[in-house]
Amino acid sequence: MNKKQEKWAIFWCDLLSPIIYEEIEPEKTHQFLKTLTKQPVRFPDGHFKKPSLSTLKRKLKKYRTAGFDALARKKRNDSGEPRHVSPEVIQKAIELKKDQPRRSVQAINRFLKGIYGKTVPRSTLYRHLKDAHATRLKLGVIRKKVRKRWSRDHTHDLWVGDFEDGPYVLENHQVLPTYLSAFIDCHSRYAVEARYYLRENLDVLIDSFIRAMATHGAPLSIYVDNAKIYHSNGLKAACHRCNIKLLHRPVGDPPPGGLIERLIQTTQDQFEAEVRAGQILSLAELNRALSAWFAVSYHNSIHSEIAETPQQRYQKGLTVIRQVDIGRVLQSFMKKECRSVHKTFSDVQLDKRFYRVDPKLRGDRVEVRYDPFSMLDTVTIYSLKGQYLGTGTLHDRSSDIPIGAEHKPGRLKYNYIDLLLQQHKRLLAEQTGGIDYRKVIDRRPWPFHEFAKTVADLLGRK
């Protein structure tokens, strides 16, 4: 007798107990049974109905004949066998499934409709396929991994991070959605960082990750999903600089992320539900309330998995805090943009802001590096080959250009004017030195004395 059969036997015994234990006189048994038929009772299957007189007499007779066990419901002889569909149809369906394990119920019924002119209900078909070990899992098409529970021996051995949608906030008279970025310590279930943002991108990941390390130090490894931002070179470089092993969740395998998902669900059920029920908050108010909830409630409540509070387990498992140089970490996340220095204003433009650079760089193509989380008053300028060229300062193009000190040239090591004078002097010397005037006169086609004689003859003078 199984539990279900035992439940039915107890039900009939309770109903007939006044007769069984002789609380009713024998001659009044029939009258008592008729009274029971007039009152609806709740049967073990949950239905309210009136038991029939014949059923009550039959159950009483069984009890008197074979005792308590005789009141158990008998199992049908044809239990599990198809009563509205022939076994031949079921066997054909099983054969079709084994022929192609990925074949759907709709496809199998299409075959059955063409062969037998009838179909099998989905639930009935699945039950028979399962009994015949003809499901995708049993046929080896779906291979689920055998898993073990997440665990680490010490605090900060592993952090698990993820994003999730948060409640709406009121910012600058606009209702905007928020996104929760959180990291949880695997050993203690302590939320090392959790904060709402207005965006879900790399900048938010950087801010959240740096805040966690600034407070708790660096973990040995972090575990994140396969989103694009978690594969950024900046995150990889920061992890290598801090000697942190970066682990990614396998593609198409969400169960390993259950640790952070459970934290997010707890946050939604216990904190966000209260936020949504009240007046809309600003982003700053929402984050202050979240910090208060973690400090007062979550970190000081018994966790069902570890049987103690996250705060207590965090302190017990803490062996060492790996301090990090935040400035060095920020270098990994410095944004880099290529810009051309304006030839007129001697500046570069970033997000509608102008930064004045060395006038010598006008017209050059340079690389601008900056911290996206700073005030952005200054940027760093590098050549495209990585050579440091100076800094750029935020300025207004409409303001006066500062006039620097007048350049006073020193004595030149190589004087071009002196060179020209020397070469000219040499040229004159070459042209005048050692001239033979007789040869010059002889080379003339009409010497002067011949010219004078010709003129005198023409004038009639000798």
Predicted confidence (pLDDT) per residue in 408-434, tens digit: 666 778 888 888 888 888 888 877 766
Q: How confident is the model at residue 156 (pLDDT cuts 50, 70, 90)?
A: very high
Helix, strand or coil for residue 333? coil
Q: How far apart are CA 198 and CA 196, in angstroms?
A: 7
**Does position 108 have pLDDT exceeding 80, yes or no?**
yes
Domain check: are 292 and 351 in the same one?
no
pLDDT of the residue at 276? 93
Q: How confident is the model at residue 254 (pLDDT cuts 50, 70, 90)?
A: low
Domain check: are 293 and 341 in the same one?
no
**Stretch 376-384: mean pLDDT, rounded?**
89
Q: How far apart are CA 404 and CA 407, in angstroms?
A: 9
Proportion of the chain above pLDDT 70, given as a percent: 88
Domain check: are 173 and 304 in the same one?
yes
Residue 271 makes CB contacts below 8 A (sequence gap 6+) with 289, 290, 293, 297
**Stretch 376-397: mean pLDDT, rounded?**
90
Q: Let me know if residue 266 belongs to a domain.
A: yes
**Stretch 43-63: mean pLDDT, rounded?**
89
Give pairs for 117-120: CB < 8 Å, separation 24+.
118/85, 118/89, 120/85, 120/89, 120/90, 120/93
pLDDT of the residue at 236? 87
Looking at every residue in the chain, the average pLDDT score rounds to: 85
Which residue do the tokens 């054909």 mark? 92
**Does position 327 have pLDDT exceeding 80, yes or no?**
no
Residue 335 makes CB contacts below 8 A (sequence gap 6+) with 369, 370, 371, 372
Which residue do the tokens 């943009």 mark? 337
H/E stretch holding 162 reads strand 159-165
**Does position 73 have pLDDT exceeding 80, yes or no?**
no
280 contacts 248 by C-beta, under 8 angstroms: no
**Stretch 113-125: mean pLDDT, rounded?**
89
Question: Phi/psi at 303 (nearest 5 deg)?
Answer: -90, 130
- Which one is predicted more confidently, 146 or 115? 115
pLDDT of the residue at 256? 59
Domain check: are 64 and 182 in the same one?
no
DSSP assigned state of 218: B
Domain check: are 217 and 265 in the same one?
yes
181 contacts 208 by C-beta, under 8 angstroms: yes
Residue 310 makes CB contacts below 8 A (sequence gap 6+) with 185, 188, 189, 190, 191, 298, 299, 303
Domain check: are 168 and 252 in the same one?
yes
**Does position 68 have pLDDT exceeding 90, yes or no?**
no
DSSP string, 116-133: HS----HHHHHHHHHHTT
For the ranges 5-14, 147-156, 194-203, 262-271, which has the lowest average pLDDT?
Answer: 147-156
pLDDT of the residue at 311? 94
**Does position 404 have pLDDT exceeding 60, yes or no?**
no
**Could you say which of 290, 316, 342 is where a domain stops?**
316
Total structural domains in the chain? 3
**Does position 184 have pLDDT exceeding 70, yes or no?**
yes
* Domain span holding position 341: 334-395
pLDDT of the residue at 433? 65
**Does position 441 have pLDDT exceeding 80, yes or no?**
no
Q: How far is CA 208 from CA 29, 126, 194, 227, 364, in A?
A: 78, 47, 7, 16, 36
CB count in 10 Å sphere of residue 56: 20
- Which one is predicted more confidently, 408 or 233? 233
Q: How far apart are CA 16 and CA 70, in angstroms?
A: 14
pLDDT of the residue at 424? 86
**Does position 366 have pLDDT exceeding 90, yes or no?**
yes
CATH of the domain at 253: 3.30.420.10
Q: How far is CA 451 from CA 438, 443, 455, 459, 461, in A?
A: 17, 15, 6, 13, 14
381 contacts 367 by C-beta, under 8 angstroms: yes
**Stretch 210-228: mean pLDDT, rounded?**
90
Query: Considering the entire predicted model, what is its pTM?
Result: 0.56
Structure tokens at 294: 């973690």
Domain check: are 312 and 338 in the same one?
no
Q: Let me know if residue 167 belongs to a domain.
A: yes
Domain check: are 61 and 190 in the same one?
no
Domain check: are 307 and 358 in the same one?
no
Q: Let me know if residue 147 belongs to a domain.
A: no
Q: How confident is the model at residue 442 (pLDDT cuts 50, 70, 90)?
A: low
Residue 124 makes CB contacts below 8 A (sequence gap 6+) with 82, 85
**Could you say which of 270, 286, 316 is where a domain stops?**
316
Domain check: are 312 and 164 in the same one?
yes
Q: How far apart are CA 136 and CA 101, in angstroms?
A: 6
Q: Let me know if residue 268 belongs to a domain.
A: yes
pLDDT tens digit sequence for 304-313: 888 899 999 9
Q: Let me know if residue 15 belongs to a domain.
A: yes
Domain check: are 242 and 181 in the same one?
yes
Q: Let me know if residue 237 belongs to a domain.
A: yes
CATH of the domain at 355: 2.30.30.130
Q: How confident is the model at residue 390 (pLDDT cuts 50, 70, 90)?
A: very high
pLDDT of the residue at 87? 84
Q: Let me know if residue 450 belongs to a domain.
A: no
pLDDT of the residue at 372? 73
H/E stretch holding 101 reads none
H/E stretch holding 345 reads none
- Per-residue b or e along 125-143, where b marks 16 or more CB atoms closer than 10 Å to that residue's CB: beebbeebebeeeeeeeee
**Does position 209 have pLDDT exceeding 70, yes or no?**
yes
Q: Let me know if residue 129 belongs to a domain.
A: no
Structure tokens at 172: 């600058």
Structure tokens at 246: 């970066």
Q: How confident is the model at residue 149 (pLDDT cuts 50, 70, 90)?
A: low
Domain check: are 222 and 357 in the same one?
no
**Stretch 87-100: mean pLDDT, rounded?**
90
**Does position 460 have pLDDT exceeding 80, yes or no?**
no
191 contacts 298 by C-beta, under 8 angstroms: yes
**Could you say which of 22, 44, 71 is where a domain stops?**
71
DSSP H helices, 271-415, are 273-277, 283-296, 310-316, 326-332
Q: How far apart are CA 339 and CA 361, in angstroms?
A: 11
Q: What is the dihedral of CA 253, 254, 260, 263, to 10 degrees?
A: -150
pLDDT of the residue at 111? 92
